[in-house]
Structure 1
Amino acid sequence: MAAVSTDVYVTVLRFYADQMAFLDALDLDAYAGTFTEDGVTHHVHRDHKLEGRAALLAHAREALPRYREVSVRHWNDNYRMDLADDGSLTVTYGSLVTLTDKEGQVRIESTYAVTDLLVRVEGRLRVRSRTILRDRAAAG
């Protein structure tokens, strides 16, 4: 794995800015479109794996009622990017999810450690795999 150029770093940040904007706007089709057709999303903390874009979209639609009465924001930061010889990128970052209710009260849903494998499909970045681990209290 090699460090990425500034241009690649900015391109990846823009990819995530667009992807999270789709998710926060509840534009599930556009969000799912940022994954490969065979993309895998693994919620380690729930031992729940979604295989394929269609499964991701179905799961997101099932969860949608939970988010209709709140504003959701994903605050991602501390990106680390490594470029593989085949051009794929492994990206790790932290994610803070907030929910704002009708009265403007903000609640932190959780924080997560995320690892993505990004690939190019027809010249555009797509998530081939995403591993999400919900933060837990440190042992001891």
Structure 2
Amino acid sequence: MREANPEEYVEVLRFYARQMSLLDRLDLDGYAQTFTPDGVTHHVHHGQKLEGRDALLAHASQALPRYRDVTARHWNDHYIVDVAPDGKVQVSYTSLVTVTDAEGRVRFESTFAVDDELVRLDGRLHTLSRTIVRDRPAAR
């Protein structure tokens, strides 16, 4: 495993900019297409594992009514990008979700630590697996 070079790093940032833009616009089909057909999303804090695009779409569609009258934005940062010898890209980052209502009031949702494994399909990056863990205070 090695650190991504600058070109690879920028490619990953562009991938997430497109992927999150699709999600924020509620283009669920477009968002699902950024995953491999067998892609897995594991919401650790819910004990939920979604396998494949169909499961991802069903889950996102079920959550859709919550976001119909607001604007959600995903703010991701602190990317650590490593490339494996087989070309898979390991990415760790943090995510914050904001929700803005019709009056312009902004609500912060939970923050998350996310670990992704990206692969190339037809020359483009796609998410093969995503593990999402909601932040909680450290045990003392």
Q: Judge same fold: TM > 0.5, yes or no.
A: yes
- Give how far 1:138 is off: 1.6
Which whole-Å CA distance do the structure 2 matches of 1:8 and 1:137 have between them?
Answer: 33
Percent identity of the aligned residues? 65
Which whole-Å CA distance do the structure 2 matches of 1:131 and 1:138 have between them?
Answer: 19
Gaps of 5+ in 2: none
SS at match of 2:62: helix
1:35 matched to 2:11: no
User: How many residues are matched?
Assistant: 140
RMSD of aligned alpha carbons = 0.5
- Give how far 1:139 is off: 1.3
2:114 matched residue in structure 1: 114
- Give how far 1:136 is off: 0.6
Gaps of 5+ in 1: none
After superposition, the C-alpha distances for 1:97-137 in whole angstroms (9 at most, x for unaligned) are 00011111111111000000000011010000000000011
2:48 matched residue in structure 1: 48
Which whole-Å CA distance do the structure 2 matches of 1:115 and 1:34 have between them?
Answer: 16
TM-score (normalised: structure 1): 0.99
- Aligned amino acid, residue 63 of structure 1: A
Which whole-Å CA distance do the structure 1 matches of 2:101 and 2:109 have between them?
Answer: 12
TM-score (normalised: structure 2): 0.99
1:72 matched residue in structure 2: 72
After superposition, the C-alpha distances for 1:4-34 in whole angstroms (9 at most, x for unaligned) are 1111100100000000000000000000000
Runs of 4+ with >2 A deviation: none
* Matched ranges for 1:1-140 at <5 A: 1-140=1-140
